[in-house]
């Protein structure tokens, strides 16, 4: 089967491409490289010892997307491509609404046109808004606290409406939590352009001396130590969850949380990183970041029950693998 992976050169996309190749799929990548690098594609092929087909395009470009579908037999789509910084989305909402929603509509339209019936969507736990944790797939979605989350919720509704109009179209909505870590080879991992928006690459860059100290956004949340609590999941576990979703997809819309089911605070993650790697990471407490909530973690029992998938790598492995990648990584 030929799987088109949009955003496949990015952090989660690249690990999923490796998992797909190792599972015997043929992979086509579409990525505009706005937050990724071309050499990541070479590293994917190196790890998996297999070839991929790469298209440097923006998936908001309908003509470029149409040409891929027209020129290749596509059996399924995994859609990662999108802007993902919560804080930035608050300041630049139009940029996020255009990029994230238009790309989903263009890809879905191409699937309809070329009879592609399998669509796995990279959603987010952000769609739950300020619901009570743990988040369960059956929850009514509350308004999110940021435009990024709204783009994910809107894309979910768009894809659901398409399935209602065309029952042969099969969609898996994967609401995942906070991916961290890296491939055990140390070749691919999280390497954002500029100052990181996510916690783990910020921690690793401070540990490496690229940044002076970690900024912890708020210590007055109603949590175990006042810092934000998140469900951190190893990116390889997350990638394997996408393969499981693809292999088990059936007609209709199916929603799955991909997380560990365990909340970890910012300071707890920092302590785990120091323990795993024997490195002290200086930090300072700063004001809360716009759009953040206090706690976010999953009930992942449905994915275990229906997909046979569970997250198996612990927080120490996440920290150890993230640091291995950072040590190996060269700008």
Q: Does 329 qualify as catalytic in the annotation?
A: no
Nearest to 124 by CA among 93, 103, 145: 145
Tell me what pLDDT residue 197 has. 79
pLDDT score, position 292: 86
Mean pLDDT of all residues belonging to the chain: 95
- CATH number (domain holding residue 238): 3.40.50.720
Q: Name residues of the chain where pLDDT drops below 70.
A: 331
Assigned domain for 321 exists: no
**8 Å CB contact between 142 and 129:** yes
Q: Is residue 102 part of a domain?
A: yes
pLDDT in tens, 66-79: 999 999 999 999 99
| Residue 191, in any domain of the structure | no
308 sits in the region (left: phi over 0; alpha: psi -120 to 50; else beta) called left
Containing structural domain, residue 99 = 2-180+232-259
At CB < 8 A and 24+ separation, what contacts does 164-169 make?
166/112, 167/251, 167/252, 168/117, 168/251, 169/111, 169/112, 169/117, 169/119, 169/251
* Domain assignment present for 189: no
Q: Is residue 147 part of a domain?
A: yes
pLDDT at residue 25, as a whole number: 98
End-to-end CA distance of the chain: 34
Domains in the chain: how many in total?
1
User: What pLDDT is recorded for position 329?
Assistant: 86
Per the domain annotation, does 220 fall within a domain?
no
**What pLDDT score was predicted for residue 330?**
75
Sign of the Cα torsion 122, 123, 126, 131 reads negative
Helix orientation angle between 199-208 and 266-277, rounded to the nearest 10 degrees: 40
197 within some domain: no
Q: Which of 96, 128, 148, 176 is catalytic?
A: 148
Query: pLDDT digits over 42-88, tens only?
Result: 999 999 999 999 999 999 999 999 999 999 999 999 999 999 988 89
**What's residue 194's pLDDT?**
76
Report yes or no on 221 lying in a domain: no
**Residue-level pLDDT at 62:** 98
């Amino acid at each position: 089967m030929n799987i088109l992976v949009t955003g496949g050169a990015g952090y989660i996309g690249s690990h999923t491409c490796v998992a797909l190749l190792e599972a015997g799929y043929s992979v086509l990548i579409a990525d505009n490289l706005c937050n990724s690098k071309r050499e990541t594609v070479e590293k994917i092929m190196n790890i998996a010892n297999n070839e991929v087909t790469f298209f440097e395009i923006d998936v908001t470009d309908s003509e470029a997307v149409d040409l891929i579908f027209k020129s290749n037999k596509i059996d399924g789509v995994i859609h990662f491509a999108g802007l993902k910084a919560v804080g930035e989305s608050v300041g630049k909402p139009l940029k996020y609404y255009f990029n994230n929603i238009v790309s989903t509509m263009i890809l879905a339209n191409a699937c309809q046109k070329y009879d592609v019936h399998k669509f796995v969507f990279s959603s987010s736990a952000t769609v739950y808004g300020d619901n009570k944790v743990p988040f369960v797939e059956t929850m009514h979605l509350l308004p999110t606290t940021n435009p990024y989350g709204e783009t994910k919720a809107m894309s979910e509704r768009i894809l659901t409406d398409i399935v209602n109009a065309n029952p042969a179209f099969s969609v898996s909505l994967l609401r995942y939590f906070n991916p961290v870590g890296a491939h055990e080879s140390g070749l691919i991992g999280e390497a954002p352009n500029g100052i990181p928006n996510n916690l783990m690459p910020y921690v690793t860059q401070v540990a490496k001396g690229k940044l002076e100290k970690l900024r912890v956004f708020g210590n007055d949340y109603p949590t175990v130590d006042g810092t934000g609590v998140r469900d951190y999941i190893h990116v390889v576990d997350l990638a394997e969850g996408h393969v499981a979703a693809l292999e088990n997809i059936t007609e209709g819309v199916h929603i799955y949380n991909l997380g560990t089911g365990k909340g970890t605070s910012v300071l707890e993650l920092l302590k785990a990183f120091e323990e795993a790697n024997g490195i002290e990471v200086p930090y300072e407490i700063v004001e809360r970041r716009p759009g953040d909530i206090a706690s976010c973690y999953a009930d992942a029992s449905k994915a275990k029950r229906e997909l046979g998938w569970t997250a198996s790598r612990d927080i120490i492995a996440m920290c150890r693998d993230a640091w291995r990648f950072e040590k190996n990584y060269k700008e």
